[in-house]
Amino acid sequence: MNQKKAWLYLLPSLVLLGAFLVYPLIDVFIYSLEEGFNFASQTYFGVGTYNYQYVLHDPYFLQALKNTFILVIITVPVSTGLALVISTGLSSIRPLRQLYQTVYFLPYVTNTLAVGLVFMVLFQKTEYTDGLVNLVLAWFGQGPVDFINGPYWAKMFVLCFYTVWVVMPFKILVLTSALASVNPDYYKAARVDGTSRLRTFTRITLPMIAPMLVYLVITGFIGAFKAYSDAVALFGTDLNAAGMNTIVGYVYDMLYGSSGGYPSYASAAAILLFVIVLTITCINLLVSRRQHWT
Partner 1 sequence: MKIRLENLTKRFPNRGKKARGEMTAVENLTFEIPDGTLVGLLGPSGCGKTTTLNMICGLEKPTSGQIFFGEEDVTALPPELRGVGMVFQNYALYPHLTVLQNILFPLENLKGEARPSREEMRRRALETAALVQIEELLDRRPKELSGGQQQRVAIARALVKMPRVLLLDEPLSNLDARLRLQTREEICKIQKKTGITTLFVTHDQEEAMSISDRIVVMKGGVLMQEGAPQQVYDDPASLFVSKFLGTPPINVFTGEVRQGKLLLDDQPVLDTPGVSDRAVWVGVRPEGFLPQADGPVQCALTRVEVLGRDVSIVCTHPASQNGAVRAIIRSEQEVDASAAQVRFALRPDKVFLFDRDSEVRIPVAGTGREAGQ
Site of interaction with partner 1 (CB under 8 A): 183, 185-186, 188-189, 191-196, 199, 203-204, 207-208, 210, 291, 293-294
Question: What DSSP character marks residue 226?
Answer: T
**In the complex, what is the shortest distance from the CB of residue 171 to partner 1, in angstroms, rounded to a whole number?**
22
Measured in degrees and rounded to the nearest 5, phi and psi for residue 195 equal -75, 135
* Cβ proximity to partner 1, 67 vs 205, nearer residue: 205
Closest distance of CB 182 from partner 1, Å: 11
For residue 281, give the nearest of 191, 217, 186 by alpha carbon. Answer: 217
Cβ closer to partner 1: 42 or 183? 183
Amino acid at 35: E
Which residues 6+ apart lie within 8 Å of 26 measured at CB? none
CB of 196 to partner 1, least distance (A): 7
The number of angstroms, rounded, from the C-alpha of 155 to the middle of its chain's C-alpha atoms is: 17
**Closest to partner 1 by CB, 76 or 209:** 209
Shortest distance, position 205 Cβ to partner 1, whole Å: 11
- Cα 63 to chain center, whole Å? 18
- Which residue's CB is nearer to partner 1, number 97 or number 188? 188
- The residues with which 265 forms a beta bridge, in sequence order, are none
- Compute the radius of gyration of the chain from its Cα atoms: 24
Q: Which is nearer to partner 1, 188 or 282 (CB)?
A: 188
What single letter denotes the amino acid at residue 155? K
Looking at residue 143, what DSSP letter applies? Answer: P
Tell me the CB-side half-sphere exposure of residue 161, using CA atoms within 13 A.
17
| Dist. CA 269–CA 253, nearest whole Å | 11
Of residues 211 and 243, the one with the C-beta less far from partner 1 = 211
For the CB of residue 95, give the shortest distance to partner 1 in the complex, in Å: 14
To partner 1, the closest distance from the beta carbon of 278 in angstroms equals: 29
| Bridge partners of residue 43, in order along the sequence | 38
Nearest to 113 by CA among 228, 240, 252, 245: 228
Q: Quote the least distance from Cβ 287 to partner 1, whole Å.
A: 16
**Cα separation, 195 vs 164, whole angstroms:** 33
Q: Which is nearer to partner 1, 2 or 294 (CB)?
A: 294
